[in-house]
Amino acid sequence: MTILVTRPEPAASQLVTRLQAAGKLAWSLPLIEFAPGGDLPHLAQQLQALKPGDLVFLLSQQVIFHAHPAMQHAGAAWPTIPDYYAIGRSTALAFHTVSNLPVEYPQAEETSEELVRLGRLHNVAGKRALLLRGNGGRTLIADTLRERGANVSFIECYQRRAKQYDGAFEGHRWRNRGIDTLVVSSGEMLQQLYSLFPTVDREEWLLHCRLLVVSERLATLAAGLGWQNITVADGADNDALLRALR
């Protein structure tokens, strides 16, 4: 097994280091990078305006990495009044580490579908829900909360930017290194990976690789693009990916 990890940094290099320590051949090709979001200057004010019982959603670890320094720069602490929800365990842990506040998260898959299934989120009518996220992304959480009567607004805490590569060069490089296993952790990166390489590389090599993804939704998307050997990890963090690659 020779593995190509497409996660953003620093998660990509961290996973590659752990795989190499376990005796695996692994390299990284991060498909996206992050920059601060345009709404960060308004974050502290928006949080302070929340009332008891209102909701704050932390939709990735990148939210914490960008939002917490912005709060510190504003001289503000994370308010104790709202209820906090994270997309998964790793994001919840990152938030609790910087805030020392309780945060709920789904115990199953780290997905939007699992998050909105949490029991307390079925009774949100009249509450304000502040979604801390990156630019764009899925709307399932917002749509579901609105259907349940919540007043939803967004704070863009970071921006995702596609990294630019020469597809023909990368196809030649990774085929020569014998890559037969791909790690992809979002639909956006899955589509980028599929579109990056020339048709000949895609048909002769890419779609024949084993593909490791982090949710059944991504597995369905991958099957629609032509992958057949697809594995779904039991989580979206590096620990879950490492377990699936052993």
Instruction: Please name the residues in contact with 119: beta carbons below 8 A apart, sequence gap of 6 or more.
Output: none
pTM for the complete prediction?
0.78
Say yes or no: 133 and 85 in one domain. Answer: yes
Q: For the chain, where are the E strands, in sequence order?
A: 2-5, 25-28, 32-36, 55-58, 83-86, 128-134, 151-162, 181-183, 210-213, 230-232
Instruction: Please name the residues in contact with 46: beta carbons below 8 A apart, sequence gap of 6 or more.
Output: 130, 153, 155
Q: Which of 161, 196, 227 is the last residue of a domain?
A: 161
- Distance between CA atoms of 75 and 205, rounded to whole angstroms? 52
- Distance between CA atoms of 43 and 59, rounded to whole angstroms? 15
Say yes or no: 42 and 155 in one domain. Answer: yes
- Distance between CA atoms of 129 and 221, rounded to whole angstroms? 29
Say yes or no: 138 and 238 in one domain. Answer: no
Q: Which of 115, 138, 161 is the last residue of a domain?
A: 161
Say yes or no: 168 and 213 in one domain. Answer: yes
Instruction: Please name the residues in contact with 85: beta carbons below 8 A apart, sequence gap of 6 or more.
Output: 55, 56, 57, 58, 103, 104, 105, 115, 118, 121
pLDDT 10s digit of each residue in the chain, 246 long? 999 999 999 999 999 999 999 999 999 999 999 999 999 999 999 999 999 999 999 999 999 999 999 999 999 999 999 999 999 888 999 999 999 999 999 987 778 999 999 999 999 999 999 999 999 878 999 999 999 999 999 999 999 999 999 999 999 999 999 999 999 999 999 999 999 999 999 999 999 999 999 999 999 999 999 999 999 998 888 999 999 998
Helix (H, G, I), strand (E, B) or coil at 72: helix
Q: In the prediction, which pLDDT does 107 show? A: 86
Residues in the chain: 246
Say yes or no: 226 and 120 in one domain. Answer: no
Q: Which CATH number does the domain housing residue 74 bear?
A: 3.40.50.10090
Say yes or no: 47 and 145 in one domain. Answer: yes
Say yes or no: 44 and 154 in one domain. Answer: yes
Say yes or no: 119 and 194 in one domain. Answer: no
Q: Which of 116, 140, 161 is the last residue of a domain?
A: 161
- Distance between CA atoms of 114 and 112, rounded to whole angstroms? 5
Domain count, the chain: 2
- Distance between CA atoms of 121 and 124, rounded to whole angstroms? 6
Q: How many CB atoms lie within 10 A of CB 166?
A: 10
Domain that holds residue 227: 2-31+163-244
Say yes or no: 149 and 60 in one domain. Answer: yes
